[in-house]
Amino acid sequence: MLNVISTAYAKEIAVVVSVDKNRVEIGSHIRLTVGVEGAFDTEIPTLSVSESFSLLYGPSVSTQTTIINNVVKVFRGFMYGFSPREKGNFEIGPATLEYKGKKYTSNSIKIEVVKRTPFEGVIDEENDTSGRRVDINKMVFVELTTDKAEAYIYEEVIQSFKLYFQKRLPIDDLDYVAASTKSFLAEKLGDERRYEEVRDGILYNVIELRTALFPLVSGKIEIPPAKFKCNVIIRQKRSRGSLFDEFMGGGGRRYPVERSTEPVKLIIKPLPVVDKPEAFSGAVGKYTMDVLAKPTKVKIGDPITLTINIRGEGNIQTIGEPILAPEGMNDFKAYNSETKVTITDRGDGIKGEKLFNKVIEPQSEDISVIPGISFSYFDPELEKYKTLIHDPIPLEIEHSDIETPIRLSIEGAGMTKGQVKILTKDILPLMTDLYSFKNRGIALYKRPFLLSIIFIIPILIVVACIYVQRQRELLHTDVGYARKKRAMAHAQKHLSNARELLQLDNPSEFYVTLTRSILEHIADKLNVTSAAVTSDNIYDILEKRGVSNDVIKELRQCLESCDYGRFSSGQLSREQMESILDTAEKVIMHLEKQL
């Protein structure tokens, strides 16, 4: 006999809001779930949340089914992550749901937000039968180091910030405050590095952030501490609870951790005065020089383009223009150079090239060469100045052709009026009756519209040329203007790379690229170094610049979502990552308009 179990769906529908904790610290986050029991085909419930909470992610949807006494119970959960921004007592909810013509309302949840209190010491893990004790101090620590203790002014110094946390240790709510570099020019070195390292017999995950620093002053300089905050999640034994509790899962208790590095002391030496070349303009590092001139066979007044390429290691941005031998430039007219900087490597230091395009025009037929070109720099390893010299470039000046003037001559005194003899016919019309020329149409001075066009068009062309030339000069001479103008193009390139990483299912690099695209866009718009834009100060900076609260809120939500995706033990879905990418694109578009 075949036993058939008959089942029926539960008819009651309930909407319940639950959280993983009712007391949370500023900067931490809560996991909130809106649960719908009794139906699996509902819309997403509408949730009321205070503006003092930032949405980190969500909703993440999951469905569970249980059968009790032949009755099928369906639970559908919508999970969110929220982070509080200010201290106080708040209420989240209620959530409302409309389903088949009826409206359902959930309960509300009270949340207490308190000031963050760093935890130090040893934890006796709760609900752990092994009685294991956890030393928080050994689980997470940070270091700030430089590759040298002494350096010359303008010499590259590599600064390294390292975050150590034990292997498989869940951490979230990361907040990094970079050390102040007010006495340096700072350039970010590539993406963050991730690797493993053993310290005192313990295996740690390491996240390393590297920055190239170029000291601007000499003397004893101290780099202040860098600061780091996060929450350490200590796993606990899970106890069986309701269907809602099972859906929420037993994540563990969060312990707020704050760490500061030791300050770094440097001795910055001034550049030596002995043997300092007159043409030295402050370049420090190792460089080579290539020169190309085109064309080398010209007439007087024809333009010659000198392309000078300085390539090497050091602060490429601040390289000064190479010098043409002044004694040979008397017979040339020279124009300001156009420059282009390309950074080819940010791995172990700044490497790249700076291209100078300079136009000169010969003013005499007696010129036979383009003057020699020299570039001086200081090599910190050899501790001496070096000068690169390019020999004069042979130049051939062609003689200009002399144009033959047009001459008209009348033969004989008794020649009939209007008869002429044409000696040169190059540009005269094939008509000899010059005196018979008559205006066949309306006189030009009787056409005011045509006259206005004739006069206005050249003026417009001149104005347009001046404007274009001015824009080109600004792009090549005003770094801040150039960065601001090109900020959107750079951001779109980063966003395109992030979208490719999303398609390749590479979440770690996706979040890094997305965060970099936003922060570097802001840095370009404000004309500051990337290292100067941090999650600790960027919101205050944008607020002072007049950026709207809605945009700042979107920005905070996007960056916090990226941090959660990078460092949380959980993994966001593909749809959530696409949503974060869309938010980043909107934020960048808003910032482009408001900065």
Q: pLDDT tens, 76-89?
A: 888 888 888 888 99
pLDDT at 20 over 80: yes
Helix (H) or strand (E) holding 529: none
Tokens of 354: 């700076």
Pair 24, 114: CB distance under 8 Å: yes
The pLDDT of residue 11 is 52
**pLDDT tens-digit map of 379-404:** 999 999 999 999 999 999 887 654 43
70: left (phi > 0), else alpha (psi -120 to 50), else beta? left
| Contact status, residue 166 vs residue 139, Cβ threshold 8 Å | yes
Using an 8 Å Cβ cutoff, are 287 and 377 in contact? yes
Query: With contact defined as beta carbons under 8 Å apart, do 30 and 49 qualify?
Result: no
SS3 247: helix
| pLDDT exceeds cutoff 60 at 482 | yes
pLDDT at 485: 82
CB 213 within 8 A of CB 196: no
**Protein fold of 8-114:** Immunoglobulin-like (2.60.40)
More confident residue, 500 or 123: 500
Quick one: average pLDDT of 524-528? 79
How would you classify residue 173: left for phi > 0, otherwise alpha for psi between -120 and 50, otherwise beta?
Answer: left
Question: Binning pLDDT at 50, 70 and 90, where does residue 327 land?
Answer: confident
Where do the DSSP E strands lie in 315-446? 323-324, 332-334, 338-345, 351-362, 369-370, 373-379, 384-390, 393-394, 396-398, 408-409, 421-422
Phi, psi (5° rounding) for residue 132? -70, 140
pLDDT at 291: 95
pLDDT winner (highest mean) among 306-320, 452-466, 489-503, 555-569 = 306-320
451 or 211: which leads in pLDDT = 211
The predicted-structure confidence for 87-98, as pLDDT tens digits, reads as follows 899 998 899 988
Q: What is the pLDDT at residue 24?
A: 85
- Residues near 345 by beta carbon (within 8 Å), at least 6 away in sequence: 351, 352
Please work out, in degrees rounded to the nearest 5, the angle formed at the alpha carbon of residue 488 by the alpha carbons of 485 and 490: 100
CATH of 285-398 among 2.60.40.740, 2.70.70.10, 3.40.50.970, 3.40.50.150: 2.60.40.740
**Contact predicate 381/413, CB 8 Å:** no
Q: CA of 347: how far to CAs of 123, 140, 507, in Å?
A: 40, 26, 22
Across-strand partners of 508? Answer: none
Residue 406 binned pLDDT confidence (cut-offs 50, 70, 90): very low
- Region 393-419: mean pLDDT is 57
Task: Calculate mean pLDDT across residues 474-484.
Answer: 66
What is the spatial distance between Cα 335 and Cα 361, in angstroms, rounded to a whole number?
A: 9
Which segments of 272-337 are extended strands (E)?
A: 285-294, 297-299, 304-314, 323-324, 332-334
Collapse the DSSP code of 323 into the 3-class scheme (helix H, G, I; strand E, B; otherwise coil) and give the result.
Answer: strand
Q: Using the predicted structure, report yes or no on whether residue 59 has a pLDDT greater than 90.
A: no
Q: What would the pLDDT profile of 205-239 be if each residue is shown by its tens digit?
A: 999 999 999 999 999 999 999 998 887 877 655 44
What per-residue confidence (pLDDT) applies to 277? 92
Q: How confident is residue 361, by pLDDT bands cut at 50, 70 and 90?
A: very high
Backbone Cα Rg of the chain: 36
Neighbours of 573 (CB within 10 A): 11
Q: How far apart are CA 418 and CA 340, in angstroms?
A: 63
Tokens 């003689």 sit at which residue? Answer: 399
pLDDT for residue 278: 87
The residue among 268 and 85 whose pLDDT is bigger is 268
Residue 525 pLDDT class (50, 70, 90 cuts): confident
Note the CATH number of domain 122-269. 2.60.40
Q: What is the predicted pLDDT for the residue at 248?
A: 39
Higher-scoring residue by pLDDT: 238, 33: 33
Q: How many angstroms separate the CA atoms of 324 and 337, rounded?
A: 12
Q: What topology does CATH give the domain 478-594?
A: Four Helix Bundle (Hemerythrin (Met), subunit A) (1.20.120)
Domain boundaries defined on the chain:
8-114, 122-269, 285-398, 409-436, 478-594
Asked if residue 515 has pLDDT above 90, the reply is no
pLDDT band, very low/low/confident/very high, at 532 (cuts 50, 70, 90):
low
Strand 23-25 and strand 109-114: pairing?
A: parallel
pLDDT at residue 273 greater than cutoff 80: yes
Instruction: State the average pLDDT for the chain.
Output: 79
Q: Do domains 122-269 and 285-398 have the same CATH topology?
A: yes
Q: Which amino acid is it at 441? A: G
pLDDT value at residue 411: 45
